[in-house]
Structure 1
Amino acid sequence: MLVVSNILSIHSGPHDSAAAVFQGYELKAAVHQERLSRVKCDGGFPDRAIENVLKIAGFKPEDIDVVVLSRGSYPTVYFNYGWFDRLRFAVQRKKGRRRHKSLSSHMWKNGTAKAEDVFLKPVFCKENGFRHDVKLFFSNHHMAHALSALFYLPGENVLAYTSDGGGDGVYYSARLLQGSDQFTCLFGDDKDFLGQGKTNSLALAYGYATQAIGFRINRHEGKLTGLAAYGKPSLFEQMSAHFSVSDTGEVASDFSNNKAMKQAIFEMAKAASREDVAASVQELLEVYTLASIKKIMAHHNVERLALAGGAFANVRLNKLVCEETGIKDIFIAPAMGDDGLVIGGALEYLMRQDGEKAFFANRRKLENVYLGEEFDAEAEQLFMQDDRLEKIAGDPAETAAELIAKDYIGAIYTGRMEFGPRALGARSIIASPKDDGINKTLNKRLQRTEFMPFAPYVLEEDADQVFEITDANRYACRFMTITTRVNPEWADKIAAVVHVDGTARPQIVNDRDNPLYSTILRHFKQKTGLPVLVNTSFNAHEEPIICKPVECLRALLDGRVDFVVIESGVFQRKQ
């Protein structure tokens, strides 16, 4: 009989810190630190997220049986430093400075591959209120990425492939699930943890190109994905000359270190427009990622792909991989970045606890990512009591659809907050797709600079009619992690959601997961004949997605949107 443990999973890193709670294999809650701190891509120890997920799950710290930790960045008080360093850090703490250090780096410095050798469990448990007998489990970065996708992709013969800007000294991993429970790692595990690291990250190359044209690494890579369609890959040959793929599918480069890679990309970027830089590094990412996966598939029976890691935030890459490999099914972890480590880390612990056979027998499809806190009652009370607002009479979904049909821009604030980088209908801005001018208008109101159109959402029954939905990409389209071609007869009718390359990034929705969201679209379709609506994240420039009702209220009062629809009604500013 399987043990049902209460598991708290934590990622404490330089960016995208998060926490999650599992009860056995049931994912109870997951929250980004940024949503609570209101600092975009916030890193450090996710104390607020920990408190929040425990609250959502109905647990106290002493209820937790297992704490899963990524080997990220933690307060130095948790490490076994010598007396002099401990004294120095204590003085800094008294001055209000709580220093963080990389756990992986501390392990390397001490020559151990076991985090337990350098992590002070008694201090950690006492500071955070955990029982002294709580189990600590330290997850492997790329195993956690892999399992965050693999666990939620049922079926046999799956390649779990990860690619990112680095974690635990590794940039890629490939793991095979053959049959239903034969699991092997081809590359990217801990065997080289203490060895000489490689310089081969395509994701880092993409990040350096992002920096080279004036944007921020680990934040604005999506802008390059949009820009790429406007440029020519004039630098691709120069970039490509530094990379190769082995017969086993491992990516290599001739750069001596990451600094050398960065300098080379910055130098190349001086000779091209930012559009051409974007197109060049996009092609680099696509060509070598696809080559790596295809080399692996040439040696193994692969029918399905499970993808995770920051590189697969690139929706255009995901489309190419899906189409060019001919696989039956693809699933990209919705929280594909380091925030998703809290999902995969807990799953890695469960695999170790229960064994691979039992673990894989528990795989299931992911229904939704509404894993944060729900504030419906608080939102209604706040909106009703504010004399600067008025409630519009009528059914909330029908009223919202009518306003959108009249070209008003609204926001939906309902149910539990999404986990992952995408707004998927719980904290979304919604608008009509008929005029591509809405992109400029809305970006101005939100003070954003974007180069891709907003994404559409579409009902299950209409998805195939509007977009090139296949058996392979259908599941991924539920989470807006892949682009598809827009069917030609619809491209001009929904111009606001179609990119210059003829693609869109749809979210397929149903009535089960978010009835208000789908019903608004149903009414809009009845009124206009258009089967999609614009969906973009409910946030202003460089802010995290809206979390609490007061943030939603502020956005409405500031004129970011014309109205907000919640479960109990539609509210607008008084005229």
Structure 2
Amino acid sequence: MYVIGISSGIKHGHHDGAAVLLRDGELIAAAEEERFTLAKHARGELPRGAIGFCLKQAGITMRDVDWICSPLKTYTNYAQRLTEYFKYQFGHSPKIELYDHHLCHAASSFYGSGFSEATVACFDFSGDSSSGLVAHARGNDFRVLTRFGRHNSLGLYYGMLTQYLGYQMTNDEYKVMGLSSYGSPEYLDKFAKLLRPNGINYELDPELDKRRRDADIFTSDFSTRQERIFTEKMEEILGPRRLRGAPLDRRMTNVAASGQKQLEIVATEVIRSAIAETGCGNVCIAGGVGLNCKMNMEIAAEPSVKRLYVPPVPHDAGVALGAAMMKCAEAGHAISPLSHAYWGPEYSNDVIRETLGKIGARFELLEDPVSSCVTDLAEQKTVGWFQGRMEYGPRALGNRSILADPRHASMKDRINLTIKYREEFRPFCPSVLYERQAEYFEETFDAPFMVVTFPVNEKVADKIPAVVHVDKTARIQSVHVDTNPLYGRLLGEFAKSTSLPMLINTSLNINEQPTVNAPLEALHTYFCSGLDVLYLGPYRLSKS
């Protein structure tokens, strides 16, 4: 049985479209639509490009697919709209099955974890008339303990905070998270008035939502991203907001720190209360707020949490996976745990060589790109690393990556300013060999998807300054040689050369562009940035 899961939709508020393909419960292919449209988040578009890739990867046509599965169960006539869409775009529509948005999130995390039982929390912006849920998952049963109302939303709360600080809602929340580490939570008492914990639930002050207060001028509760979503009450409590592009001062960093801390307090209280009800300390996190790695660190540190799992796609791209998993589970198929995220397109050496020839690039063909790359890295060169299948999810995990040596603090500023063209306060993450991560980071567990931060061991922090954030933490990627042999070997050879089993790893892209998919996009990033070297499969390009 072939099942395609999709995310996003046809309204302007829909985003992060993706498609996945499962065959009898086995994941075959998965990719986000933004990598094909080259428009970040692929807003308001169904994932035509990602669907086409999934079919090609499996060597099938749409007529071979048994089911198309999607969230948006509460949308009027949506199944009929999808049927017409697939007939128009692909000449045939399989059967359509719609699921609840947040159950799709929950399924993507629970089935991916491999746990037989878990407490599952979905913290999101909105979807199918709610903003998240808490469930007790066991086998194929999801017993919902509570749902969070559409307007009582942690995603909405953090979107308001993002706008207040002068950034773009549903795009720049990660900037607020990074900025928060530079401040102190001096305004925590004020944020306690805006967002209040309440056991397994919480309460976001309803007077903050401009869309609810001014319902007569909003035709729907989805405001456009260019409109303010918070009322004047937020500024009455916190003081004047920051205009986009204005200098950041200490008050704003303290606001970011306070807002982030209140999120952590509320989310941790929800988890603590949920575990008390389920009796299960295995915790799965999903929903867009699940990308908040500082929150995830605090949840992991909660004493009642036994094990924590956050998938590589906790955001809306992940509901495509969850929908397909639920359909396969209903059919009696076993769902394998998600041990890696390398499910996207791969390009042959011949395709890469043809692309290089078309643009007239100078390059060299290497017998062993790993040994050459180790030399480049040890010589303090910044490296674009394009290998194997593209990652499914927003994090580069060693196949579409920018790599560098973390031993010099100046490397962080160099990459931010000359390659990524982004704010200087933004941190970079380390990829580290799993078997050696405990030497450098504290309270660690297997974290292959770069979605949890960990404290840095203060005894070795001075050896890796470029990946130590201002709060003395790092968002690590645990690298296993068996799931990515080439990248694992690169880290191993770098360790032999430098005694350090880790590298700076950030996505191969320029700020506000999607992570690259194809060789031509990698070349565009290389030639439009300060990258020193680019490895495309066995081919090496250098500007020196």
* TM-score computed with the length of structure 2 as normaliser: 0.88
Q: Distance in 2 between matches of 1:538 and 1:226?
A: 19
Task: Say which of 198, 201, 204 aligns to 1:250.
Answer: 201
* CA distances 1:459-493 after superposition (whole Å, capped 9, x unpaired): 122112121254xx32xx11111011111222000
| TM superposition score normalised by structure 1 | 0.84
2:125 is the counterpart of 1:165: yes
1:284-343 CA deviation, whole Å, 9 max, x = no partner? 110111111111222221120011001110001001001114422111121111111100
CA contact (8 A) 2:417 2:424 kept: no
Quote the residue 1:231 is aligned against: 183
Task: Choose the corresponding residue for 1:262, options 218, 221, 230.
Answer: 230
Alignment of 1:437-476 (within 5 A): 437-445=410-418, 446-449=420-423, 451-470=425-444, 473-474=445-446
Partner of 1:90: none
Structure 1 residues 121, 453: closer, same or farther in 2, change over 3 A? closer
Q: CA deviation at 1:213?
A: 1.4
Matched-pair contact (CA < 8 Å) for 1:64–1:130: no
The whole-number CA distance in structure 2 between the counterparts of 1:489 and 1:371 is 37
* Shift of residue 199, structure 1, vs aligned partner: 2.6
How many Å apart are 1:363 and its aligned residue? 4.1
User: Cα deviation per residue 1:192-243 (whole Å; 9 max; x = unaligned)?
Assistant: xxxxx55321221111111111111111111111111111223321221233
Q: How does 1:375-414 map to 2 (within 5 A)?
A: 375-377=347-349, 378-383=351-356, 387-391=360-364, 395-414=368-387
Q: Deviations over 1:173-207 (max 9, x none)?
A: 111025x5654111239xxxxxxx55321221111
List aligned pairs for 1:483-502, cutoff 5 A.
483-502=453-472
Alignment correspondent of 1:309: 287
Distance 2:178 2:5 in 1: 36
**Distance in 1 between residues matched to 2:335 and 2:424, nearest whole Å:** 37
Structure 2 CA distance for partners of 1:282 and 1:423, relative to 1, 3 Å: same
Which residue matches 1:372?
A: 344
- 1:248-397 equivalences under 5 Å are 249-256=200-207, 258-259=209-210, 262-263=230-231, 264-267=233-236, 268-270=238-240, 273-351=251-329, 353-354=330-331, 358=332, 362-377=334-349, 378-383=351-356, 387-391=360-364, 395-397=368-370
Q: How many Å separate the matches in 2 of 1:485 and 1:525?
A: 21
Alpha carbons 2:519, 2:536 under 8 Å: kept: no
Maintained 8 Å contact 2:430/2:502: yes
CA contact (8 A) 2:2 2:64 kept: no
| 1:141 equivalent in alignment to 2:121 | no
Q: Which residue of 2 aligns with 1:39?
A: 39
Match status 1:188 vs 2:188: no
Shift of 1:49: 2.0
**In structure 2, what residue type is equivalent to 1:11?**
S
**Could you tell me how far apart the structure 2 residues matched to 1:225 and 1:450 are?**
14
* Structure having the higher Rg: 1
**Aligned mates of 2:117, 2:46 — CA distance in 1:** 37
Deviation of the 1:125 alpha carbon: 4.0
User: What is the identity, as a one-letter code, of the residue corresponding to 1:70?
Assistant: P
Distance 2:494 2:81 in 1: 57
Is contact 1:243–1:253 with CA below 8 Å preserved after alignment?
A: yes
Letter in 1 for 2:209: N
Match in the other structure for 1:28: 28
Question: For 1:567 and 1:549, how far apart are their aligned partners in 2?
Answer: 9
User: How many percent identity over aligned positions?
Assistant: 29
Structure 1's 450 and 258: CA in aligned 2 closer, same or farther, altered over 3 A? Answer: farther
Alignment correspondent of 2:69 = 68
Amino acid at match of 2:509: N
**Is contact 2:401–2:507 with CA below 8 Å preserved after alignment?**
yes
Determine helix, strand or coil for the equivalent of 1:500: coil
- Which residue of structure 1 lines up, in the alignment, with residue 88 of structure 2? 127
* 2:192 match: 240
2:6 corresponds to which of 4, 9, 12 = 9
Deviation, structure 1 residue 554? 2.0
The size of the alignment, in residue pairs, is 511
Instruction: Indicate the SS of the match to 1:334.
Output: coil
Q: CA RMSD in A?
A: 2.3
How far the C-alpha of 1:400 sits from its partner, in A, is: 0.5
Matched, 1:422 2:395: yes
Deviation at 1:558, TM superposition (A): 2.9
Instruction: Tell me what 1:209 maps to.
Output: 161
Please report how far the alpha carbon of residue 388 of structure 1 lies from its aligned counterpart in structure 2 after TM superposition.
3.8
Q: Deviations over 1:64-108 (max 9, x none)?
A: 11111222xxxxxxxxxxxxxxxxxxxxxxxxxxxxxxx85x53x
SS of 2:512's partner is: coil
**Which deviates more from structure 2 when the two are superposed, residues 445-454 or residues 497-506?**
445-454
CA-to-partner distance for each residue in 1:32-89, whole Å, 9 max, x for gaps?
A: 1111111111122222222222222222121111111222xxxxxxxxxxxxxxxxxx
Corresponding position of 1:95: none
- Deviation of 1:124 after TM superposition, in Å, equals 3.2
* Corresponding letter in the other structure for 1:458: V
Task: Give, in whole Å, the separation in 1 of the partners of 2:50 and 2:413.
Answer: 34
Per the alignment, do residues 372 and 392 of structure 1 end up closer, same or farther by CA in structure 2, a change over 3 Å counting? Answer: closer
Assess if the C-alpha contact under 8 Å between 1:9 and 1:68 holds in 2: yes
Deviates further, 230-239 or 332-341: 230-239
**1:44-63, aligned counterparts within 5 Å?**
44-63=45-64
SS of the equivalent of 2:491 reads: helix
Worse-matched range after superposition: 376-385 or 339-348: 376-385
Q: 2:6 touches 2:17 (CA, 8 Å); kept in 1?
A: no
